[in-house]
Amino acid sequence: MKYDFHKKRKITELDLSPFSPIGDGKDGKIYKLSQKKCVKYYFHEETQQKELQALQTGQSSPIFPRLYEYGDNYIVMEYVQGISLARYLKHNRTMNKELTLKILNVLEELKRVGFNRWDTEVRHMLINIKGEFKVIDHKRAFSTTTTVPKKLFKGIRKFGLMEEFLTHVKTLKPSLYKEWKDKV
């Protein structure tokens, strides 16, 4: 099914009725438009503006979904075929060195693009079919400042994998381990 939003500044849920909903939250709803695209429909334009700014800033990075178009209350972006890190951890119940390195690389990338908040929840880290990470839901990228990824820690701890994760961090990035060990 083809969509035609680019002529509209705002869309309604009626505009989205032909498409399959794939997620929802307190900020809006997400619909799959095609195998490559989805649209996030926002309840509040202010939230859309914050997330749009973050997505635009992150377009030079491979960890951000591609941005295709937007209006006042929606963003059309890359549809990430895969699973969240939360589901991956729940299913696999392990944290190996390779996965730890990928997570650390995501955090470094959030810093590199200039975010004030370089923390994310495990449910917002998506692993695509190639095993690459994509991070979604960036509305607080510039309005919140973090130096320790407490939300990420909380999610990893929830699956009982914090000790394993920190063991790998100690080997891979000893300076980060020293910074984090007392803040976990």
Give the pLDDT of the chain (184 residues) as one tens digit per residue: 677 787 789 999 999 999 999 999 899 999 999 999 999 999 999 999 999 999 999 999 999 999 999 999 999 999 999 999 999 999 999 999 999 999 999 999 999 999 999 899 999 999 999 999 999 999 999 998 988 999 999 999 999 999 999 999 999 999 999 999 888 8
| CA atoms of 41 and 78, how far apart (whole Å) | 14
Is 110 in contact with 118 (CB distance < 8 Å)?
yes
- Those residues whose C-beta lies under 8 Å from the C-beta of residue 180, and which sit 6 or more positions away, are 148, 166, 169
Our CA dihedral for 156, 160, 166, 172, rounded to 10 degrees, sits at: -70
Look up the CATH number of domain 13-78.
3.30.200.20
pTM of the model: 0.92
